[in-house]
Structure 1
């Protein structure tokens, strides 16, 4: 399930002034207002939500309409966010005041072809905080194996199942590019390495529930920081 938030800024500022931590903090600020998710930020384990970049991708101008999409396989979480957002006409995105214009719920349609909306992040070595880099290793099989392992772990954790399948998670892939995302939190700079993909295709979806989960939860790691968000190819063609 997905939530589309439309808002306007009360002042002009650079697009780079807002990063993934800013948007994540915006989401948690509304979850904290609810009885069900007030301590969600402090809970261990997967958070099962993802979000898009703010679009259009351009500097913020006073009164200009911007958009943000939040997705999650947890329907209750999305409904709580919808309820809390609709209670308020204004909010803060980091240090910047914004006016919430509209909040709408929608269900994405599952198709066999996906495209990354935000970079897929995977650890090469999580203990050393070392990210997988296609440029450095060109190890495509490691990417495929780790992507499948992470997806199954999240899916089974969410549904309390022991689902597994043989073979690769996707049958056809078209690589886009690798990106280094600079994030700043509490005056500390972090660099996250991720990959963008033009096409991630599964010919036969034996378990549509699994792929619909990925569409809503995201691929790879750091989904709750906005990484690994997916769209379907059809949704872009119809946009």
Structure 2
């Protein structure tokens, strides 16, 4: 399930260009105000598989028409909105998560994001698309995949344009793992593949750095992905996001051709 939130009073307010960490904090605060017990469980435990924890939600950045914002600052590290209204999309396969968010929006008029306050204009559930056994997704936010490499203390980020076969492998493995944890079902019928034609056309331009915090920079890929398999699993991935770090906003997808 996916909800669209309209926020107002954004004009002439500047936020970090990569404001995903701030949005994640805002969402946790909303859940905490609505249901402290659920918020504590989600933040501290969530859905677990050994040492891995999954939150099973995803979200977009703040979205405005292209000519209604600009990047400012010495390194273009801030985004300044020139419009009063921005949109935020939040999705999850966990009904209780979205129910708590809706309850927050019904009760509160404002949200705090970074150093600014935004007015809640509306929040509504969107109709979930009908999925078949093959769907082409476009990335609304960067898709992040990493692996551990012997001799290195930090993760190695897999770039789609450099290693498309490996990217497909890790992306599919991640999808199957999330489905198993959420449903208990193994051997998920799902395969994810990067659109090779798009990669050949765009190449290195599909890769981007995301500065989550002063001490954390990650690398993602903004590429179309072809999902083949069980339509129920494809719908799950639409709700939860693909790749890693979904609860920090990474890997939100939409049907190719649909414009936000």
Q: After TM superposition, is the score higher than 0.5?
A: yes
Q: Give TM-score scaled by structure 1 length.
A: 0.86
State whether residues 32 and 39 of structure 2, in contact with CA within 8 Å, keep that contact through their aligned partners in structure 1: yes
Q: Deviation digits for residues 189-214 of structure 1, max 9, x if unmatched?
A: 311100011x3224xx4411111111
Classify 1:171/1:143 alpha carbon distance in 2 versus 1 (closer, same or farther; 3 Å).
closer
Deviation at 1:98, TM superposition (A): 1.2
Corresponding residue for 2:63?
Answer: 55
Q: Deviation digits for residues 4-51 of structure 1, max 9, x if unmatched?
A: 111113663224266111000010001112155221112251000000
Are 1:161 and 2:203 an aligned pair? Answer: no
1:170 to 169, 176, 193: 193
Corresponding residue for 2:216?
Answer: 190
CA distance in 2, matches of 1:142, 1:10: 40
Are 1:100 and 2:120 an aligned pair? Answer: yes
Structure 2 unaligned residues grouped into runs of 5+:
47-52, 70-79
Aligned residues between the structures: 228
Are 1:119 and 2:142 an aligned pair? Answer: yes
State whether residues 2 and 108 of structure 1, in contact with CA within 8 Å, keep that contact through their aligned partners in structure 2: yes
Classify 1:7/1:172 alpha carbon distance in 2 versus 1 (closer, same or farther; 3 Å).
closer
Corresponding residue for 2:159?
Answer: 134
State whether residues 3 and 70 of structure 1, in contact with CA within 8 Å, keep that contact through their aligned partners in structure 2: yes
Helix, strand or coil at the partner of 2:81 = coil
Corresponding residue for 1:75?
Answer: 95
Classify 1:228/1:216 alpha carbon distance in 2 versus 1 (closer, same or farther; 3 Å).
same
Corresponding residue for 1:235?
Answer: 258
Deviation at 1:128, TM superposition (A): 3.0
CA distance in 2, matches of 1:229, 1:97: 25
Corresponding residue for 2:210?
Answer: 181
1:18-29 equivalent positions in 2, closer than 5 A:
19-29=19-29
Helix, strand or coil at the partner of 2:22 = helix
State whether residues 9 and 96 of structure 1, in contact with CA within 8 Å, keep that contact through their aligned partners in structure 2: no
Helix, strand or coil at the partner of 2:96 = helix
Structure 1 unaligned residues grouped into runs of 5+:
none
Corresponding residue for 1:91?
Answer: 111
State whether residues 56 and 92 of structure 2, in contact with CA within 8 Å, keep that contact through their aligned partners in structure 1: yes
